[in-house]
């Protein structure tokens, strides 16, 4: 199907959107007003050591103090949180007599805060709510309000309905997925991302790009997600290099915050083989999630190209590639090349072997990736052998 053709009649589809977003430089000043709107009098601020050391937590505490908002803190979230982060956060919530949450940080802190939020009214263990076993049916809507303040432009967890944690009873990154986990407000202040180390700007930004790409080419019918996904691709393509090279460029930072939200909104349609592999690479090889996506995405884009030529052609146009007049198949090739060039320009390693992944781990990574549901919406179906071939190509 060429991307400008109408699809076949899709039948009946169910889709949903939401979240109040306060966006722009200085948006952080609106935090007290959002808490007041939601009736939160004593929030628990959930964050991590990196955000504290970077001075961002102090800025948030200052805003709360100047508005006379009492609050408690939990600053111990680990990268790639586990049930222990959620339990410790819950203890802080109870000890502080809190009635709501402020999730401050990258994906790990926001996800951990959502799990604390869930445990305030739902009994453990968290594995009971595992999306892979239909656990979403146990998640009720009686959760305290949560306001998310992202300090990276990547996962888009501030507008996402999932919390992810590695749990002992499942032994893997477990996704807890419910519309009730959508933050009640997201405060997206690009000034908070200015101090991010360039390598993290690059890796998290590539996560946002990959969400847009995989959602856009995913099989299935979701025109709302498609429209938002292609805009995420457009914004990340034009602004990620700039945010990387000129960290203080607030226009580029704002664009990336929008791309991150759009990527997360869009991937309710589905993801693909890149995320399946990334979900295995992080626990097995310790790779940052965004970096894992950045390295495997060019191989994945090449793999899906024959099955999604029209879609890749549209990606090339959105990326500002699309020079010449070679039709969809030439444009699709340019999309793959454009992705490769983007990763290279961001100074990220091009191969898994350059990012501490051992060759002998590749079969285990492919097996874990095959268990992951993300690849089920790949426009070109993946076998475990395909995932191994993709991991080898990226290695």
Q: Looking up tokens 């100047």, which residue turns up?
A: 66
Residue with Cβ nearer Zn ion (69 or 113) = 113
Residue with Cβ nearer Zn ion (207 or 309) = 207
Strand ranges inside 40-106, DSSP E = 43-48, 72-77, 100-105
Residue with Cβ nearer Zn ion (263 or 322) = 263
CA angle, 45 as apex, 142 and 192 as ends, to 5°? 120
Rounded Cα–Cα distance for residues 120 and 144 (Å): 8
Residue with Cβ nearer Zn ion (275 or 305) = 275
CB of 290 to Zn ion, least distance (A): 7
CB of 156 to Zn ion, least distance (A): 8
Q: Are 183 and 18 in contact (CB under 8 A)?
A: no
User: Which of these segments, 124-132, 203-211, 230-238, 362-370, binds Zn ion (CB under 5 A)?
Assistant: 203-211
Cα–Cα distances (Å) from 207 to 110, 140, 277, in that order, read: 16, 30, 13
CB of 155 to Zn ion, least distance (A): 6
CB of 125 to Zn ion, least distance (A): 25
Residue with Cβ nearer Zn ion (50 or 156) = 156
In terms of DSSP H, where are the helices of 168-272?
198-217, 223-245, 250-266
CB of 95 to Zn ion, least distance (A): 33
Residue with Cβ nearer Zn ion (19 or 128) = 19
214 is a site residue for Zn ion (CB under 5 A)? no
CB of 318 to Zn ion, least distance (A): 19
Residue with Cβ nearer Zn ion (145 or 150) = 150
Residue with Cβ nearer Zn ion (207 or 226) = 207
Residue with Cβ nearer Zn ion (214 or 321) = 214
Report which residue's Cβ sits closest to Zn ion: 207
Q: Going by C-beta distance under 8 Å and a sequence separation of 6 or more, which residues neighbour residue 229?
A: 211, 212, 213, 215, 216, 262, 263, 266, 267, 269
Rounded Cα–Cα distance for residues 281 and 364 (Å): 10
Q: Are 271 and 374 in contact (CB under 8 A)?
A: yes
Cα–Cα distances (Å) from 238 to 247, 318, 332, 338, in that order, read: 14, 9, 18, 12
| Site for Zn ion, residues 81 to 100, rule: CB under 5 A | none
User: Which of these segments, 75-83, 137-145, 206-214, 383-391, binds Zn ion (CB under 5 A)?
Assistant: 206-214
In 3-state terms the chain splits into helix, strand, coil percentages (rounded to 5) of 60, 10, 30
| Site for Zn ion, residues 218 to 277, rule: CB under 5 A | none
Burial tier of 178 (Cβ tally within 10 Å: 0-12, 13-18, 19+): buried
CB of 145 to Zn ion, least distance (A): 25
Q: Hey, what are 304's tokens? A: 């899906």
CB of 104 to Zn ion, least distance (A): 20
How many residues form the binding site for Zn ion (CB under 5 A)? 1
User: Which of these segments, 29-37, 207-215, 298-306, 313-321, binds Zn ion (CB under 5 A)?
Assistant: 207-215
Cα–Cα distances (Å) from 94 to 43, 99, 100, 297, in that order, read: 11, 9, 11, 42
Give how far the C-alpha of residue 391 lies from the chain's centroid of Cα atoms, to the nearest Å. Answer: 21
CB of 342 to Zn ion, least distance (A): 16
CB of 6 to Zn ion, least distance (A): 30
Residue with Cβ nearer Zn ion (47 or 152) = 152
207 is a site residue for Zn ion (CB under 5 A)? yes
User: Which of these segments, 174-182, 199-207, 239-247, 322-330, binds Zn ion (CB under 5 A)?
Assistant: 199-207
48 is a site residue for Zn ion (CB under 5 A)? no
Q: Are 176 and 187 in contact (CB under 8 A)?
A: no
- Contact footprint for Zn ion (CB under 5 A): 207
């Amino acid at each position: 199907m060429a991307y400008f053709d109408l699809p076949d009649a899709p039948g009946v589809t169910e889709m949903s959107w939401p979240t109040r977003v306060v966006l722009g430089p200085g948006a952080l000043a609106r935090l007290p007003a959002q808490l007041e709107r939601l009736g939160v009098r004593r929030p628990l601020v959930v964050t991590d050591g990196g955000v504290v050391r970077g001075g961002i937590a102090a800025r948030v505490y200052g805003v709360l103090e100047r508005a006379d908002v009492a609050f408690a803190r939990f600053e111990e979230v680990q990268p790639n949180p586990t049930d222990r982060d959620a339990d410790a956060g819950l203890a802080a919530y109870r000890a502080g007599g809190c009635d709501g949450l402020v999730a401050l940080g990258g994906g790990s802190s926001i996800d951990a805060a959502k799990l604390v939020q869930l445990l305030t009214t739902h009994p453990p263990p968290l594995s009971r709510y595992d999306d892979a076993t239909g656990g979403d049916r146990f998640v009720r809507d009686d959760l305290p309000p949560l306001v998310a303040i992202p300090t990276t432009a990547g996962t888009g967890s501030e507008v996402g309905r999932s919390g992810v944690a590695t749990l002992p009873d499942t032994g893997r990154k477990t996704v807890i997925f419910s519309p009730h986990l959508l933050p009640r407000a997201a405060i997206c202040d690009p000034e908070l991302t200015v101090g991010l180390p360039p390598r993290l700007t690059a890796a998290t930004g590539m996560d946002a790009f990959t969400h847009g790409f995989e959602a856009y080419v995913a099989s299935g019918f979701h025109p709302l997600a498609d429209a938002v996904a292609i805009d995420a691709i457009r914004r990340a393509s034009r602004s990620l290099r700039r945010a990387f090279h000129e960290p203080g460029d607030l226009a580029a930072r704002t664009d990336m915050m929008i791309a991150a939200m759009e990527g997360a909104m869009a991937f309710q349609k589905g993801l693909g083989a890149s995320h399946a592999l990334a979900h295995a690479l992080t626990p097995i090889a310790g790779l940052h999630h965004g970096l894992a996506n950045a390295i495997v995405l060019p191989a994945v884009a090449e793999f899906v190209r024959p099955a999604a030529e029209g879609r890749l052609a549209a990606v090339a146009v959105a990326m500002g590639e699309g020079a010449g007049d070679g039709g969809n198949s030439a444009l699709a090739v340019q999309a793959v090349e454009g992705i490769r060039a983007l990763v290279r320009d961001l100074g990220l390693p091009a191969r898994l072997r350059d990012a501490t992944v051992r060759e002998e781990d590749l079969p285990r990574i492919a097996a874990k990736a095959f268990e992951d549901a993300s690849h089920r919406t790949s426009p070109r179906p993946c076998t475990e052998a395909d995932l191994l071939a993709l991991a080898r190509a990226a290695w």
